[in-house]
Amino acid sequence: MRSNVSKTNPECPSISELAETIEHCFPEITLFTTNNVSPGTRHTSGLAIDIMLDSTKAAARGRAEGMIAVFIKLQQKMMWSDIIFTDYHIPAGRAGYGGTPFKPNSYTADRRHFDHIHMDWVDFSLKNSGAEYNRIPYKWSAAAKTTGFGTELFAELKSLSGAPPSVPSASAPWIDGWWEVVQEGTTYYYLLRIADGSAAWTYVRPASGKTPQAVHPENRGTFVIGAADRFVITWERWSTIATVERFQSSSSDNTNLAGTSNRGGPLVATKIV
Ligand SMILES: [Zn+2]
């Protein structure tokens, strides 16, 4: 739920819709949007939200990283400018924010973001000046008035809400086995096991779809089935952010998948028989 919302400094429409959607989906998460601090901040401007999730707790960190993956997926609809979590930030490549768009970039300005996601719609070209800057630093851009994403955002966030079961349901037996996965011109081989929800990947092509183990696995992870035609893999963490990949069947026989990643371009997967 929102906490300490200012009565005099309104939320921009995008923050308002985002906060309402998160409250609807995860009422237990504390949110800080606007405030009355002086001098004013991005929050006082109504352009920022803090989503309180403690990165030192595995479940909260997993929830935060899952939410960030959803925000990246929906950025074109939400039009946010930047996200900060722990020691990285993810710019959307707009509104004057530097860094590689849609990738984790090192964030060293402070260490205050280990217990929350900060997300904002600030546009650096819309700075107020003089006394007004001290009260309200930034004006609202057209992007900060973006609305209409709530329904889709709610559905995506809701899919994160089930705790990963220790054994995935048997609703999608076609997931089990080897997949050839191509992303940005590179080919990877994934072994997904329905019996324990485990994932592993390697650069070594298996001899066949029956090969029992990954040779020289580069990383391991777990996957959760969201519906009969889709699942989400969370890879173990290499650096500061876990890679979260969302796959959905793209053929009627479930031998082809289309996927998205919070760290790279689109994924295309083909079952190895
Ligand atoms: Zn903040």
Burial of residue 253 (number of CB atoms within 10 Å: 0-12, 13-18, 19+) = exposed
Architecture of domain 173-271: Beta Barrel (2.40)
Give 74 Cα–ligand 1 centroid separation in angstroms. 20
CA of 32 to the centre of ligand 1 (A): 8
What protein residues have CB closer than 5 angstroms to ion ligand 1? Answer: 48, 50, 118
pLDDT of res. 241: 65
Contacts (Cβ under 8 Å, ≥6 apart) of 228: 171, 172
Q: What is the pLDDT of residue 229?
A: 85
Structural domain boundaries of the chain? 13-158, 173-271
Structure-token pair, residue 267: 């994924």
User: Mapping DSSP to helix (H, G, I), strand (E, B) and coil, where does residue 153 land?
Assistant: helix
From the list 250, 269, 203, 259, the residue with the least C-alpha distance to 232 is 259
> Burial level of 176, CB count in 10 A (0-12/13-18/19+)?
middle
What is the Rg, in whole angstroms, of the alpha carbon atoms belonging to the chain?
A: 20
Residue 165, pLDDT score: 43
What was the pLDDT predicted at 71?
95
Q: What is the pLDDT of residues 147-165, one digit of tens each?
A: 999 999 998 998 887 644 4
Residue ranges of the chain with per-residue pLDDT less than 70:
162-170, 237-241
pTM of the predicted model as reported, rounded to 2 decimal places: 0.64
